[in-house]
Homo-oligomer: A and B are copies of this chain.
Amino acid sequence: MKVYPECLPCFALQALRAANRSTNDESLKWEILIEACRHIATFQQGMKPVEMAEIIYPLVSQKTGVFDPFETVKHETNQHALALYPFFKALVTESDRPIETAMKLAIIGNSVDFGVPQNHLKDLKTETLATLHESLAIDDTGDFLNLLSQSFSLLLLADNSGEIVLDRLLLETIHSHYPDLKITVAARDVPIINDVTLADIKEAGFPSFISAVSSGNRTPGVILEKANKKFLDVYHAADIIVSKGQGNYEGLSDDADDRVFFLLRAKCAIIARHVGVKEGAMIVKKGSVK
């Protein structure tokens, strides 16, 4: 997905939110915002929206000395989701279609996003009870299950903290049906917004039968051209790929093939428009979207 004009003010807002989490110094915030706007004014029309994060967030860190302004929030959301794990697990266990229920939960988990103007999450349990029976606006679940049944290896591209606990549940559920499936989960290389790093995967309590890999990306979404070799080997070898969230969609939607299934909640108007759904909609979408 290419950047839209609408993304530019959003980048400035992201600089502001990160600055607000990093300092109370109004003059420093001013300096950060001015500098952010100066950088934004140099952005090129063909870039992927997530690429801005390589400029904007390091700028805030550099000015404030705060390397990871979302560290606390990540820990809190992970712990919040972990505390609810038995509740989520029971929903899956009691379901007639456990994999589909776990997929839906993993999409609901995608509400935990501090990169968007409104962080939709209040409480994951409340959110789940309110939206679990909502239909998917795009539903390629049938194709997913079909391909899954023929697959030897699965790669999940993780997105946000908190959400990662639901990803774990999805992968555990898939494993219980396909115990021989080789499963890998991919994280960001460095802390960026509340995106998942290898440390979050550890905190989320992933079982040992799931391998974890860093994508090498410093953006809040996988960009293949900027990924590391180890990740690319796993990516190209995987029979089926679960791409979670908006950031991975922004990074991959132009390049995805039919092994890739985008599971996300469309939390911003621009992504909703690009996917062709209403804001807030949940989707399971196969392949590229151009």
Contact = CB atoms under 8 A, between A and B. Distances in A.
A9 B33 contact: yes
Contacts of A259: none
A146 to B, nearest CB: 37
Contacts of A37: 8, 12, 37-38, 40-41
Given A37-B37, A41-B34, A45-B27, A16 B5 contact: yes
Given A27-B45, A41-B41, A45-B27, A34 B8 contact: yes
Contact of A9 (B12, B27, B30): B12
Interface residues of A, number: 24
Contacts of A168: none
Given A37-B41, A41-B37, A41-B38, A26 B9 contact: no
Contacts of A13: 9
A32 interface: yes
17 contacts: A4-B26, A5-B16, A5-B26, A5-B29, A6-B16, A8-B34, A8-B37, A9-B12, A9-B16, A9-B33, A12-B37, A30-B45, A35-B41, A37-B38, A38-B38, A38-B41, A41-B41
